Structure 1
Amino acid sequence: MSDVTFANAWVLALLPVVPAGFAAWLRGVRHGEQRARAVSRVRGAAPPYLAAALFSLAAVAAIGAAAQPRWGTKESRVPRTGADLVVVMDISRSMDARDIAPSRLQAAKDTVAATLARLGGDRVGLVVFAGSARTRFPLTTDFAAANQVIGSLATGVVFVEGGSAAGPGLEEAVNLLTGQSSSGRVILLLTDGDDLGGDSAASALLVAESGADLLVAGIGTADGATIPVFDFRTRTEEPLRDESGAPVVTRLNEPFLRALAAAAGGRYLGSDLSVVPGVVDGRLQALERAQVDARPTTIPIERHRYFAGAALALLVLGALAERIGRGGWRRGAALAAAMFLLSGCATSAYEANEAGREALEQGDTALAVDKFLQAQVDRPDDPNVAINLAAAYHAVGRFDEAIFSARRALVSNSPDVRARAYASIGHHQFSAERLPEALEAFRRALLEVPTDESRHDYEVVLRLLYPPAPPPETATPTPGPGDQPGGSPTQPGPQATPSPGGNGQNGNGTPSPGSGTPGAGTPGAATPGPGQGERTPTPGAGSPSVTLDQVERQIRDIDRQVTRLIQEAGETPTPSEALEILNLLAERARIAALRDALGGSAAPNDY
């Protein structure tokens, strides 16, 4: 009892009032007796000392109940509800630019940390991208671990390939959300918009079809900045340069980000990162929330009901002692009768449960059901009674009622009791010939408390549901004509069964795999393989040559079309306008890659 605590310990300060009141009552009684003897020789009725003592004890018990004593602990599972957030962060080399102090990447990491600090029971996942994308951690409620991973992010190609393309990052985020809970889903994209490849239009449509809300935050400024590169040989820092030697300047591409958000049915938040945490939190709060997990926790066991029950019993006994007679033997008889009744009430459920177990062992299943039902009336929350009643129902073939009764024990805080309940449900489902439900129940029992018995039950049902495939039969070749030793002619025997490595036919003219289908590059094959027949024309090989001037002209034409569309769309492009802009930008990226392959001067495409 050394671990006793009180929720309202201040109430215990009232305890001295009880003995003080009892002492004052005794003093008053004695003073009254003295005055009565002074005026009369007739002895009055004896004061109700026993009743007063019982009432005083009832007051002490009531104060103890009000203080809410606790001792011992129990395991409990606290459900957590929330929505799902996937952060898609750009870690390409352009995020090292310092047009935002201290750098674009650090500003993005600080924004995500501030966003996580405002979340409650929501789950968060992280996807990083440059030229490719990768999940850094899946959806989780462990924000401490998430902040550690986010704080360790750096630009480069350790986790992803070089380049910069937001499309793969969005696709990875959608894959991360697929198959998760039915709660609301939000994708937060943090990038400078320096998109050098990928089909962003298709990625935006994928986000829109997934039902997730896309929020896009721009990192950087319109003026832009150079990209610092550290030279380990000279231990100096210089700006990244293109092939002509000019510094590469990276700028925030807001038209692209607006078009991307509009095409996905999302929202562009601008480049003011201070508003991002509030907007994300508000959006998550407005979405449908579902249970994301149920964390086990240890809580103290409340014991105030015992004190409250004792106070009530003492009040009843005090009233009986005061009203039933004045003789000592009568008070004793009343007290003994009351205690007997209370003890009988306390043990009736136990006796009924034991009688039910005895009847079940003797095969009297009907009596066992009646006794367990009687025990359940007195103790409706007792998981042991519920499991015993389920066993009795099972014995008489009432499997559905057995399952219902066993499920009442699943509310227990003890893993052992829950494991017994799941195992009981599994046996009832198995007897009812519902094998999938039985397998699930045994699986849950195995998760609660892994034992050899629960593992055996699970494996038995698993093999019944999914029996192992029989081993393939090995064909035995039968000698055919001309196969006898010595080459002596014999009568034709049964048709031979082909074995691996045969002549490609099974004796009835049906070709087996490996015959009749020409392989790549096989002489005489009907389908030309590599190095023969027609080729797919590629620029500069077997087709009219493409000059750098033509490529540059195509890029300038696309730039003019994109500029015109952006001016016509304004700050809020429609989804169709946004998709057209994204498609043109994707085409420009492909043509720019062709220009680089042909040897034209271009900025490095890995930032």
Structure 2
Amino acid sequence: MSFLTPLWLIALILLPPYLWGARRYGWHMQIWLMVSLLFLILSLTRPVIPEKPITVEEAGSDVILAVDVSYSMRATDIAPTRLDAAKRVLHQIIAQDREDRFGVLAHTTSAIILSPLTKDTELLTHLFASLDESQIITKGTEVMSALELARKMSHAQHPLVVLFSDGGDELSYEKEAAYAEENGLKVCIVMLASAQGSTLPSEEGSLKDEDGHIVVSSRNDAINLIAEQSGGKVIDGADATSVIEWIERERSEDFAGSTTVTRYQELFYFPLVLALIAFVLAYTSVGERVSKAFIPLLALVGISANAGLLDYPYQTLGSYAYSHGNYERSAQWYGRIDSEGGRFNRAASLYKMGKYQEALAIYRTIRSEEPLFKSKVFYNMANCHIRLSEFENARTALLKSLTLSYTPQADQNLRAIAGAQEQKSLNVRKEKKDQFTSDENKPTGEGKKSKEGGGSNMQSDIASSGAGDAGKKAQADPRFSTSQGKAALSSKQYELINQRSVHETKPW
């Protein structure tokens, strides 16, 4: 077995972090969705079993696609530009015609081969996409050079030439028409210009001639003589369907040969079906019963079975907002997680906002049988009581915390409020700063304490919590510094300056 699109296997790197999230924050729905994702990725890799190669006979016409890339093709009367419209038609022809060989040439006052005759559609598609007209500054057009080069590119008796142009500059194309007829070229003219014409963009606005007059480029129907005399056709506008129909009608066996084709037996539908089954199990009671059958085994790796589908993204967003000092947004994200850990982290965010009563109310709703977690809940409740000058309740909460798990911080805080009275106003940050601490649950990597609300009272790596590293101090905005006495400009301001939209002396 092999894979036709093995690059999709790179997507498997998404599974370990997803598995980590499911392991910490839920099992039933998460694990089935992970299994569904795994099989979906395998399906996208297109697993196949190679079969015996076969030989296919093929024949078709030689088709030369000649594109005018002179300056006038930048006109916008054919949206978005004449040249872009030509590229679009070229893509459509290559994508739909699998029988013929295509060669590509570009011409202005001279012609060059962009691609010899080939059936490699990927090569031609890349060629059209990489054609950069901004590098072409020639303003003239000579059609004869394109016809002569087209004749040299093919040994067929009557190769087909599709000429994308706005008509060029000549008043008469009798010589070109005679050359096409004498050399067996069947020319289809794709007219990419309108009768009213269009101005041509330039650095000064619109292109002007030597006398300072604005140049207007419109279609030149004199070029139609080449199609009429060579037995071809004139097509108005970027009509790929008409071009393909003309090629099919004029097709001949200019070349014949055989190619070896490797056939495969597709197997993608097997993992696709399994992915659909796993997805259904994630949202049905059947999946819950199946997953519960494996809970004793999964308990060995500490997988819980109570998280929702979006708990992991919510806790990640909450952690990010918390670490950047956006505690209000952090509280909103954590508020969407229906778990003890989610409530714990929401209360911690509210504490950082100075909303001690709200944080305390949430802490009181948390239920857990884990002594370490309960100890941290009581410790945080004590910090809220201290901020509210409810010292008796704070002492009770600290004693409960120390009973469940001893920590030096809880012991220190208990000693710091030993003589405090309920009616006494205590600014802990100023009066007891060397005795009182609320950093027992300080997240990993936190710098100096934030000024919003109280100190950090959040432990994010507990077994049922979901706010890893949620407590880093938000960095100061680098665009303004009072110590430096000047402000750095944002990228938007630079953009406005470049557009001359900012007053140089009064930028406000």
- For normalisation by structure 2, the TM-score amounts to 0.39
Larger radius of gyration: 1
- For normalisation by structure 1, the TM-score amounts to 0.33
